[in-house]
A and B are shown apart, each in its own frame.
Chain A
Amino acid sequence: MGQKITIEPVTRVEGHGKVTIHLDNEGKIEQTRLHIVEFRGFERFVQGRPYWEMPVLVQRLCGICPVSHHLAAAKALDVIVGAGTGEGLTPTGEKMRRLMHYGQMFQSHSLHFFHLASPDLLFGIDSDPLKRNVIGVALEYKDLAVQGVMMRKYGQEVIKATAGKKIHGTGAIPGGINKHLTEEERDYLLHGNEYMNIDKMIGWAQDALEFFKEYHKKNTAVIDGFAEFPSSYLSLVRKDGALDLYHGVLRAVDTEGKKILHDVDYQEYNKYIDEEVKSWSYMKFPYLKEIGKTNGWYSVGPLARLNTADFIDTPLAQKEFEEFRSYNNGKPSNRPMHAHWARLIEILHSAEKIKQLLNDPDLMEGELVTKGTKKYEGVGLIEAPRGTLFHHYKIGENDMITMANLIVSTTNNNQPMNIAVNQVAVKVMTGKKEITEGMMNAVEVAIRAYDPCLSCATHALGKMPLEFEIYNASEQLIERKYRG
């Protein structure tokens, strides 16, 4: 074993990860791994709890995307309370949940682009890390920074109006939703004020897309040539093949766009998907059973969704989707940095959907909950901002949870992130005498493209150092660096 470099934690991703890059004596990359070093064990913690607690309890998995867990759990419990597997809710129940979800997608994607990704694009991967953050953006591109903040806020206001509060919302309940949208809430979200109205959000989403496309034109090599590798892609799609972030069937395509999972019912996901455990990570490695452990891995998230869907059912996002697909000759894009492009198209789509829903009278009146015959097992899937999220529960006669299996989006992206990290490490570090901050950031840029969420949903002052270590061929520590 040669030199070892450890980057811990990775900056500007959600949570705590560690990258180790092992170099041989010639400076060539032997191996690169993204380690997930935290253990949460939620699948065990929830056993023995009443099933109706799940939509609120599982939000504590993550302070970043609690809404996704809230909705995925609620969808699984819809099955258990006999409200169907996705099409059984009342129009009000489904549309309120969709509004909540599009609000979550809008705010989460906006956060990622403006706060986490844009500093790399605006200032360059090699730029001063003290400048390469949202404060730097605010200093030099004030309008962009303000837009990012206000888009985040708008999404959070949508969540508050549908879930009842910003965190630990209670809106989605087994079988439906617990509130209507009020006239006041609707009017605020439609026409609130100069900065807080849906038309402004749609305009800003379009501006962000233009910003990215202009950057892409000028920096084609950075966006197209960064860590490209073939992958399969998995996501929900609507039954007619449209992009659907809330509900649908499971589809996977290979790197050429050929279907390898044929729009199957996700209630039977474990017929098609299994998870492999590896000794060096707490995170599992999912794969398609039919293809096998070695080659059956896949990517999820914005890029995967645009690679699997046939079309988008909102006009502005559809126009952008056509441009995206045309650029890639109608085939899946295998370029991780295109995830930023895809994410921006989804921001626009989410804003269009929010506007459609806010003008729908079903949100303000009608039955909230569907009741049916109890079942003892249910699966809920949703396209979370970072990709497909699986919640699977079984209950006993006393209504307590007896089994829970969660496959979170970042877990689905485990193998592709490892491959991307290795690609970049080989490209920027091979043969170099010194590992610079810029090289380290290049590795992290590859990870950030997947917007991984490794969050442990806790924090405390003084808890989070940032360091990486360099070891020589004899495994002796020769350098330790701190950042942040």
Chain B
Amino acid sequence: MTSEKRILIYGYGNPGRQDDGLGVLLAERIEKWAAEEGLKGIVTDSNYQLNLEDAEAISGYDTVIFADASQEDIADYLFSPLVPSASVEFTMHAVSPAFILHLCHEAFNRFPDTYLLHIKGYSWEFMNNMTPPAKINLEKAVEFVKAFLKS
């Protein structure tokens, strides 16, 4: 996969709100790992939240993984193909990856293989430090992404 395809790992969230930074930290870890391994074609990016222009940004890749903290009822992390959706988001603050993917299809006519990685978080206070269980979930998610990229 890595030798032929252009891959984007896009983590988003606010590292200043404890576990909300899980996606951003995952992207940082993968960036460092890819450099150490000498893997070509893997690009990482991060932001507070997804924005409209990310539809254009992902259009240049074959494979995209969006990584975000999750409050959903999952064990540690959940990796799944992303289905595009035009559903109305109630703020730009919460533009969903599904919305971005749909906009990429409609506005730019590009169809990257796109996945969503939810990493379970627990606390969202104004602090830089992640909770211990979130750190464990991050490690598991990082190892999973490494294996996925090497496969």
A221 contacts the other chain (CB 8 A): no
- Alpha-carbon distance between A455 and B91 when the two chains are bound, in angstroms: 9
User: In residues 137-156 of chain A, which contact B (Cβ within 8 Å)?
Assistant: 138-139, 142, 145-146, 148-150, 152-153, 156
- Min distance, Cβ A482 to any Cβ of chain B, angstroms: 10
Could you say which of A45, A136, A458, A484 contacts B89, with CB atoms under 8 Å apart? A484
Bin the interface of chain A by size: 35 or more
Instruction: Check A145 against B14 for contact (C-beta < 8 Å).
Output: no
Instruction: Check B107 against A138 for contact (C-beta < 8 Å).
Output: yes
Could you say which of A16, A132, A152 contacts B51, with CB atoms under 8 Å apart? A152
Considering only CB atoms, which chain A residue lies closest to B24 in the complex? A167
Instruction: Check A135 against B91 for contact (C-beta < 8 Å).
Output: no
Q: Which chain B positions have C-beta within 8 A of A116? A: 92
Known: A133-B86, A167-B48. Is A60-B16 also a contact (CB below 8 A)? yes
Tell me how many residues of B have a C-beta within 8 Å of chain A: 39
- Alpha-carbon distance between A12 and B92 when the two chains are bound, in angstroms: 6
- Min distance, Cβ B60 to any Cβ of chain A, angstroms: 12
Could you say which of A9, A150, A153 contacts B91, with CB atoms under 8 Å apart? A9
Considering only CB atoms, which chain B residue lies closest to A195 in the complex? B56
- Min distance, Cβ B113 to any Cβ of chain A, angstroms: 20
Instruction: Check A459 against B92 for contact (C-beta < 8 Å).
Output: no
Known: A60-B16, A153-B56. Is A455-B93 also a contact (CB below 8 A)? yes
Instruction: Check B53 against A459 for contact (C-beta < 8 Å).
Output: no
Known: A166-B47, A458-B124. Is A10-B93 also a contact (CB below 8 A)? no
A11 contacts the other chain (CB 8 A): yes
- Min distance, Cβ B123 to any Cβ of chain A, angstroms: 11
A361 contacts the other chain (CB 8 A): no
- Alpha-carbon distance between A267 and B87 when the two chains are bound, in angstroms: 46
- Alpha-carbon distance between A16 and B68 when the two chains are bound, in angstroms: 20
Stretch at the interface among A203-211, A299-307, A377-385, A460-468: A460-468
B110 contacts the other chain (CB 8 A): no
Q: Which chain B positions have C-beta within 8 A of A138? A: 103, 106-107
- Alpha-carbon distance between A16 and B71 when the two chains are bound, in angstroms: 18
Instruction: Check A142 against B106 for contact (C-beta < 8 Å).
Output: yes
User: In residues 55-98 of chain B, which contact A (Cβ within 8 Å)?
Assistant: 55-57, 68-72, 86-94
Could you say which of A12, A60, A167, A455 contacts B90, with CB atoms under 8 Å apart? A12
Known: A135-B99, A459-B94. Is A153-B53 also a contact (CB below 8 A)? yes
Q: Which chain A positions have C-beta within 8 A of B14? A: 60, 63, 457-459
- Min distance, Cβ A472 to any Cβ of chain B, angstroms: 26
B33 contacts the other chain (CB 8 A): no
- Alpha-carbon distance between A148 and B94 when the two chains are bound, in angstroms: 18
- Min distance, Cβ B68 to any Cβ of chain A, angstroms: 6
Could you say which of B52, B53, B90, B126 contacts A466, with CB atoms under 8 Å apart? B90
- Alpha-carbon distance between A111 and B106 when the two chains are bound, in angstroms: 18
- Alpha-carbon distance between A114 and B53 when the two chains are bound, in angstroms: 12
Among B47, B55, B88, the most chain A Cβ lie within 10 Å of the Cβ of B88
A96 contacts the other chain (CB 8 A): no
- Alpha-carbon distance between A66 and B51 when the two chains are bound, in angstroms: 14
Known: A138-B103, A146-B108, A457-B16. Is A63-B90 also a contact (CB below 8 A)? no
Could you say which of B48, B57, B102, B126 contacts A135, with CB atoms under 8 Å apart? B102
- Min distance, Cβ A55 to any Cβ of chain B, angstroms: 14
Q: Which chain B positions have C-beta within 8 A of A455? A: 91, 93
- Min distance, Cβ A448 to any Cβ of chain B, angstroms: 11
Known: A11-B90, A111-B92, A129-B88. Is A461-B56 also a contact (CB below 8 A)? no
Considering only CB atoms, which chain B residue lies closest to A132 in the complex? B88
- Alpha-carbon distance between A175 and B99 when the two chains are bound, in angstroms: 41
Q: Which chain B positions have C-beta within 8 A of A11? A: 88-91
Instruction: Check B72 against A16 for contact (C-beta < 8 Å).
Output: no
- Alpha-carbon distance between A15 and B56 when the two chains are bound, in angstroms: 24
Q: Which chain A positions have C-beta within 8 A of B56? A: 149-150, 153
B137 contacts the other chain (CB 8 A): no
Known: A11-B91, A14-B92, A135-B86. Is A149-B52 also a contact (CB below 8 A)? yes
Q: Which chain A positions have C-beta within 8 A of B6? A: none
Q: Which chain B positions have C-beta within 8 A of A60? A: 14, 16, 126
Q: Which chain B positions have C-beta within 8 A of A14? A: 91-93
- Alpha-carbon distance between A63 and B20 when the two chains are bound, in angstroms: 13
Q: Which chain A positions have C-beta within 8 A of B20? A: 458-460
Q: Which chain A positions have C-beta within 8 A of B126? A: 45, 60
Instruction: Check A149 against B87 for contact (C-beta < 8 Å).
Output: no
What are 30 pairs between A and B in contact, CB < 8 Å?
Answer: A10-B90, A11-B90, A12-B91, A45-B126, A60-B16, A66-B48, A115-B92, A130-B88, A133-B86, A133-B88, A139-B106, A145-B103, A145-B106, A149-B103, A152-B52, A152-B53, A156-B53, A457-B14, A458-B17, A458-B20, A458-B124, A459-B14, A460-B13, A460-B71, A460-B121, A461-B72, A461-B118, A462-B70, A462-B71, A464-B91
Nearest 3 CB-CB pairings of A with B? A63-B48, A135-B86, A153-B53
* Given A15-B93, A466-B90, A484-B87: 17 more A-B contacts, CB < 8 Å: A11-B89, A63-B14, A63-B48, A64-B92, A116-B92, A130-B88, A133-B88, A138-B103, A138-B106, A146-B107, A149-B103, A150-B56, A152-B53, A167-B46, A455-B91, A457-B14, A462-B70
Q: Which residues of A contact B (CB under 8 A)?
A: 9-16, 45, 60, 63-64, 66, 111, 114-116, 129-130, 132-136, 138-139, 142, 145-146, 148-150, 152-153, 156, 166-167, 455, 457-464, 466, 483-484
